Amino acid sequence: MLRNVAKRSFGKLPIRGYSTASQDLKKTALYDFHLSQGAQMVPYAGWSMPVKYASLGVLQSHLHTRENASIFDVSHMLQTRLTGKDRVQFIENLVVGDIQSLPLGHSTLSVFTNERGGIIDDTIICQQDDSLYIVSNAGCADKDLKHIRQHLEAFQNQGGEAELKIIDDHSLLAIQGPKAAAALQELVDADLSKMNFMTGKMISIKGIDCHVARSGYTGEDGFEISIPTPEVTRIAELLLSNPNVEMAGLGARDSLRLEAGLCLYGNDLNEDITPIEAGLTWTIGKRRRAEGGFLGAEYILPQIKNGVEKRRVGLIVEGAPARENCEVYNADGEKIGTTTSGVPSPSLKKNVAMAYVKSGFHKSNTELLVKVRNRMQKALVTKMPFVPSNYYKV
């Protein structure tokens, strides 16, 4: 859930999402810690964020995460809590997910939609005993809050009971990779082997009460930990004391999520793309498909039955890497789409990309052409994720 603003390159991997402006940047509580670890900081969505560290370059950091475990500072993400007896009814006006049926302690990926069915943002929603815990993108924070508050005021004026609180006293760390659970287990008494992927609960980490969610954005097993901000440096240091754990920046996070077939808001998702076009039909629960009731339902639900004109696909691209905004053609030379993300895959040692193409050309093994630097290169539609996911199941 990263947001694109511009693009820079470091080494052989693209680094997306960085503006060139450096004034008035916000800093996470780990800013000084990042500098002490040799981080290269860049402007990102209004924040100064680490893109890579002195210990590992982007490529090495990516591979380390796939094989061991890495810590990502994701404190720039927007954390909110929705309370009140009508909180589920309210949030289901704005997102496509079946939050009512979400079991206690379970989370789901969903999307905020607009009146036209376009995606305002993607978000993770966790069902807690007295609230909904919501995490959404840093680059969309202002518009998300404006959107939610506008509809919340109308909901309250009609007698609905719901309240929104920004969680601004907690930071957010992600530890990702096949050795993430073992590293975290050393610091907690709770048995992490009993936690499925996309579940979360309060856990004490060396005496510090944290919300620990088994989730992430890399395709690997891992956790996102909401930590009282005064304690976040201590917990980062404790996790980093494990020899299998390294710090990782947004550069590796981007290539990891792309290999995992996960969308980047601002590239692969925007307000003109519906969940059906984006391949996110699965986020719309059976009850929601029957009842509707969310913004843009009158546009989205018919698309499930009747289909759409364009579809998000994965591509394996020969030749030079296809970044975003490369034109896609069929074998007859007809332009049928555009790439939205692309990177040389460190795991596969092939160039992978996402694109939106005309329906009919979205099936696996369809041969296409991508125009990169005015040269036509062969591309093959490929099922995503490009690299098999390793999400944990009990």
Residue 183 contacts by C-beta under 8 Å, 6 or more apart in sequence? 69, 175, 239, 242, 244, 245
Strands 78-83 and 200-205: unpaired
| Strands of the sheet with 26-27, listed across from one edge | 26-27, 47-52, 40-44
CA distance 89 to 161: 9
E strands along 6-55, which residues? 7-10, 13-16, 26-27, 40-44, 47-52
- Answer left, alpha or beta for residue 66, where phi above 0 means left and psi between -120 and 50 means alpha: alpha
CA distance 313 to 355: 5
CA distance 356 to 336: 8
Q: What 3-state DSSP class applies to 161?
A: coil
Could you say which DSSP state residue 96 is in? Answer: S
Segment holding 381, helix H or strand E: strand 375-382
> The tokens of 394 are what?
């009990």
Biggest CA–CA distance in the chain, Å, is 64
Q: Which residues are 165's β-sheet partners?
A: 81
CA distance 332 to 9: 33
Q: Is 224 annotated as a binding residue?
A: yes
End-to-end CA distance of the chain: 26
Q: Could you tell me the CA-to-CA distances from 126 to 90, 97, 275 in Å, in that order?
A: 15, 11, 20
Dihedral angle over CA of 379, 383, 389, 394, nearest 10: 180
CA distance 250 to 29: 17
Binding-site residues for substrate, in ranges, read: 224
Binding-site residues, in ranges, read: 224
